[in-house]
Amino acid sequence: MKLFIVPSHSPSRPCLRRTGGRAFTLIELLVSMTFLVILMLVVSQVIGIVQRTWVRANSRVSQFREARQAFDTLTRSISQATLNNYWDNEFNSVGTDAAGQQITLAKDYFRQSELQFICGPTSKVVPGATGNAQNYPGHAVFFQAPLGIASLVATVGQGGAGQPVNTENMVNLLCGRGYFVEWGTDASFRPAFLEKLNNAVPVRSRLRLMEYSPTAEKNRIYDTTLRPITSHSMEWYQDVLNTEVQNAQETVQTRAFTRPIAENIIALVISPQVEVTGNTSVLPYAIAPQYIYDSTLKINPGASPVNASPQGTQHLLPPLLKVSMIALDERSGELLARTENSQMRAQLLTSIAGKLQNAANLTEELDGSQGKVGTLAQLLLAQKLNYRIFSTTIALKQSRWSF
C-alpha cells in the first residue's frame, strides 16, 4: 500500500479547513435578549411584590404587637376594679328624746359605696368631650382599683433637704384609672429636644388609646369639697383632658396623668353584661343596653328593672365586661392622618361613634352575621384600612353581684 501526500497548496485538491463552531445570527441574539428582558421584568416584579408584602406584614406585626400589649394592660387593670361596697342601715325617725336628740329605729339595709365605676360612649362620659364624637370615637371607662401607684413625696430633713417617702409596701393603695380613645397631636408627649430642631420632625396626629392614671395622693374620689360622696358625679376625673402636661414643663411632682399607651387605636368598646347561662328571660346586656353603666345610679339609661330591689344595680360592679378594641396598622394610621383625608376621617369616626350606641347590635357591628364581616369592619374596608379586632370578656374579681 502506497501513501501519497498532496501539498495543501496543490491546485489539484482544495484546502480543507476545520472550524470550531457556528456563530449566532442577529435574529437569535435579539430573541435571546427579549426573553432575558422579560425574565428580568418578571423577577423584579416578584421581588417588588415580596418586598411590599414584607413591609406591610412587618408594619402590621409591630403595630399590632403594641396594640396587644396595650390591650393586655387595659384588661388587667379593669379586672382589678373595685367598689368596696358594704351594707349600711337605713333608719326611720320616731321622734326626739328629753335632751332633744333624734330617736331612730333601724328600718332596712342598703348597699353603700364611696367609689364609682362608670363606662359608656366617650362623648357622653368624659367631661369636655360632649358633642365631639369625631375626636373621641368609641367608649371610655373609669374606675378605682388597688394599683398602688404613689408619688415619691419628699420629706423635710435637716437643712431643708428631703428624702423620698418609701412606698415599697404600699402596693394596695387605691388609685383612679381610666381608658378612652382620642384623636390629636403628640405635642404634649414629644421629647423636649425635638422642639430644638426647628420643626425638623413634624407633629404627628394619630388616634391613640389614652390612659388616665393619677397617683393615690391625687385620688379625689373621697374629696367631699367636690360633692357629697353618695351623689352621682363625674368630678373625681374631671381633669382627664386637662392633665396632658408639656414634657418640658413636667416634673416628678407634676407628671401628666393622661398619657397614650398605644397609637392607631380607632375604637374601644366596653359592654357591661351579666351571666345568662340557663336563663333565657334576661339579655346579657340588659343592665346597660346603651353601654352606659354608672354604679351610682339605680337604673342605667335604657335599662329596665331586672328585679324587685329598690336599689337596682346601684353600687354594684357588672359581673362581666366584654371589652373590644379595633387597631389599625401604621400605614393605615398614616393614611387616616393625612390632611387631604380630614373629611374622610371625620365622617368615618362620626359613623363609628354613631354605631356604638346600642348594645343589642354589638355582635353584628363587630363580628358580623351570615358570613359577612361586621358593619364596623365594612366601614374600614371601604376606606382600604388594615385593621385587627381584639376582644375578650373580663370577669371582674371584686364584683359582688346580688339583687
Helix (H, G, I), strand (E, B) or coil at 202: coil
Asked if residues 210 and 140 have their Cβ atoms less than 8 Å apart, the reply is no
Per-residue pLDDT, 179: 96
Q: Who contacts 182 (Cβ-Cβ below 8 Å, separation ≥6)?
A: 122, 135, 136, 207, 208, 210
Per-residue pLDDT, 150: 78
pLDDT digits (tens, 9 = 90+) for 126-176: 888 887 878 899 999 999 999 888 776 555 554 545 566 666 667 788 899
Per-residue pLDDT, 254: 67
- 80 falls in which pLDDT band (50, 70, 90)? very high
pLDDT digits (tens, 9 = 90+) for 165-174: 666 667 788 8
For residue 375, count CB atoms less than 10 angstroms from its CB and return exposed for 0-12, middle for 13-18, buried for 19 or more.
Answer: middle
Cα R_g (the chain), whole angstroms: 35
As a whole number, mean pLDDT of residues 220-230 equals 71
For 12, the grid coordinates are 489539484
In Å, how far are 92, 281, 286, 307, 315 from 310, measured between CA atoms? 17, 20, 17, 9, 12
Euclidean distance between CA atoms 385 and 59, whole angstroms: 13
Per-residue pLDDT, 252: 59
Residue 23 has pLDDT above 60, yes or no: yes
Which position has the higher pLDDT, 245 or 347? 347
Q: What pTM was computed for the model?
A: 0.79
Share of the chain above pLDDT 70, in %: 81
Closest CA to 45 of 37, 35, 57: 37
Euclidean distance between CA atoms 399 and 403, whole angstroms: 12
Per-residue pLDDT, 212: 93
Per-residue pLDDT, 325: 95
Euclidean distance between CA atoms 23 and 13, whole angstroms: 27
Look-up: residue for cell 428582558?
A: 37
Instruction: Report which DSSP code applies to 15.
Output: P
Asked if residues 274 and 359 have their Cβ atoms less than 8 Å apart, the reply is no
φ/ψ of 89, rounded to 5, equals -85, 145
Euclidean distance between CA atoms 295 and 85, whole angstroms: 11
Indicate the helix (H) or strand (E) that contains 30: helix 26-78
pLDDT digits (tens, 9 = 90+) for 314-362: 899 999 999 999 999 888 999 999 989 989 999 999 898 889 999 999 9
As a whole number, mean pLDDT of residues 245-268 equals 76
Per-residue pLDDT, 153: 58
67-71, 74-78, 104-108, 121-125, range with the lowest pLDDT: 104-108
Instruction: Provide the sign of the torsion angle of the four alpha carbons 240, 212, 351, 293, taken in this order.
Output: negative
pLDDT digits (tens, 9 = 90+) for 172-206: 888 999 999 999 888 777 777 776 776 677 888 89
Per-residue pLDDT, 323: 96
Q: Who contacts 73 (Cβ-Cβ below 8 Å, separation ≥6)?
A: 211, 261
Q: Residue 392: what residue type?
A: T
Q: Residue 273: what residue type?
A: Q
